[in-house]
Structure 1
């Protein structure tokens, strides 16, 4: 069965003894790990109990295919329910997990272990995803990238745990710069909280001083290069961002956010607003280090071409999720198309 997004937090805190396999998958690797660890603690009490928790990898199963069944059926030493975590699961593991479901599901009794299969992004046609979603005693938990309102709630919740609240500008800035990985988001917020020790409110200046990493800078450089028509810079920055672990969906969504902000400014300019007044409407305002580049792009891009670029990015995101094409290639091709439009806009 597929667990609805609104019910996932409750499920990982209390999965129920009837569930044999929980598939935790999606593009947000940090959220996959976070939910798998919460499930493990819910069942076994902690994540590192050698008598109750066993960790396997796909390589372990290739070396010993029978081990998954042996671990899933083994009774806990001293009582309790065990957890078997299978990291890096994929479609090649569907056959072994199907055997576990069939064997342990033959009885109505609670299974001696909960098997947690941790996977990356799986399409609707994935054998593993289809297996678990169709199983009465299976649970599929998608882990999508934090975005918008959901990301804002994660940021507020994490800061509140440190006795802090973000200003409106700080929250908007954090939503714009975080969200590609739940674990990275929490790590960056924890670092920010340490920097703001003794304060009650986090400011925009605090965020700009502390939050960020190499992949985020490469991503920002790639987006500005695309909309600025700088194809060589785009190619190099995008390659670095992918090497740092950024997913194509994250890159596309970052480009969409940038184009949405350009659309807001170019739309106001088309209605007669001066560019500086239009830029002041942005929340948060462009970071001072890139404000001049943003202003130049807002002058160059007609509002109609911005809308066309947004449509192109939306199609690319759908294509990454549904067509089966290599998602990095599709992402790069889309940004190159935008860069070509950016070059034409700059020369016009």
Structure 2
């Protein structure tokens, strides 16, 4: 199947080629890729039947069972007419094995999510060449962001003038899903007012790069490797240098160590931090035992 241009992707999502049974969704904007993969999953599931089963897989599943994808695509579900298998591409997704699998006909559909892929990527070339597959590049632009703003505010019955919209756009980042979340939060905040103002935006819409950096730090320090890598990819898409992310993480652990090394009441230890902990960062919600932060806690000390 011919590779699709980025401008043709929205049209494909609404009406996929009936012969297409495997789709690669890729691009630098992890949020946009995920959002479009989710939309495509819904479309293909409806095409498969009202009772279609949706399966999510990633590297953790393949680490436990290398043949898991093969099993899911080649078997029929017990209580559904067919499956839509949605896979997050990682190091354990083997392209030659995937090619052999897709060479065999299957009633189940496959959707693979990936990051930004070079033209010579084996995964991208596979989906571009297979006759019953498609490769969908996802690159957000200002028109996409404007459409998100218009749709979310219109649904809430809110208007916005051009100058205020420009300011809102400047507060949003390169991650499509994160931007949609921020606009939805703004719509909820301003609901009933009739119009969004500059003050509304300043009050509730955070700087996207700062939010992604904060999310990366908390995910990494909480042992959530998959989430941390996703946020790091979002930072890269927004133009944030990875060295800056590592520096922020180092500062975070330094402050955690300052709190963990103090004896006595946890709240008192937090109050000794300089600069003081901002209220928006929350508090350390779990006690410190044995001189260190308890495993599994997400200590929020930026």
Deviation at 1:213, TM superposition (A): 4.7
CA RMSD, 1 decimal: 3.2
Deviations 1:196-250 (A, max 9, x none): 111222122211111015733798xxxxxxxxxxxxxxxxxxxxx9995343342
Alignment of 1:294-313 (within 5 A): none
**Contact map agreement 2:173 2:208 (CA 8 A) in 1:** no
- Residue in structure 1 matched with residue 38 of structure 2 by the alignment: 37
Match of 1:169, SS?
helix
Q: Does 1:198 align with 2:195?
A: no
| Mapped partners of 2:80, 2:203: distance in 1 | 50
**Contact map agreement 1:31 1:143 (CA 8 A) in 2:** yes
Q: Does 1:132 align with 2:127?
A: yes
Using a 3 Å threshold, how does the CA distance of structure 1 residues 180 and 214 change in structure 2: closer, same or farther?
A: closer
**Contact map agreement 1:25 1:120 (CA 8 A) in 2:** yes
| Mapped partners of 1:31, 1:249: distance in 2 | 11
Using a 3 Å threshold, how does the CA distance of structure 1 residues 64 and 43 change in structure 2: closer, same or farther?
A: same
| Mapped partners of 2:52, 2:143: distance in 1 | 40
Q: Report the count of equivalent residues.
A: 228
**Contact map agreement 2:178 2:208 (CA 8 A) in 1:** no
| Mapped partners of 2:208, 2:187: distance in 1 | 20
Alignment of 1:155-234 (within 5 A): 155-213=149-207, 215-216=209-210
- Residue in structure 1 matched with residue 67 of structure 2 by the alignment: 66
- Residue in structure 2 matched with residue 9 of structure 1 by the alignment: 10
Q: Does 1:247 align with 2:235?
A: yes
- Residue in structure 1 matched with residue 144 of structure 2 by the alignment: 150
Deviation at 1:73, TM superposition (A): 2.0
| Mapped partners of 1:176, 1:37: distance in 2 | 27
Unaligned runs of 5+ in 1: 105-110, 220-240, 253-326, 333-348
Q: Does 1:141 align with 2:136?
A: yes
Q: How does the TM-score come out when normalised to structure 1?
A: 0.58
Match of 2:39, SS?
helix
Deviations 1:30-79 (A, max 9, x none): 11111111111112249xx9961111112322432322122112224455
Higher helix share: 1
Q: Does 1:123 align with 2:118?
A: yes
Alignment of 1:266-345 (within 5 A): 328=242
Unaligned runs of 5+ in 2: 214-227, 247-302
Match of 1:198, SS?
coil
Q: How does the TM-score come out when normalised to structure 2?
A: 0.66
**Contact map agreement 2:24 2:112 (CA 8 A) in 1:** yes
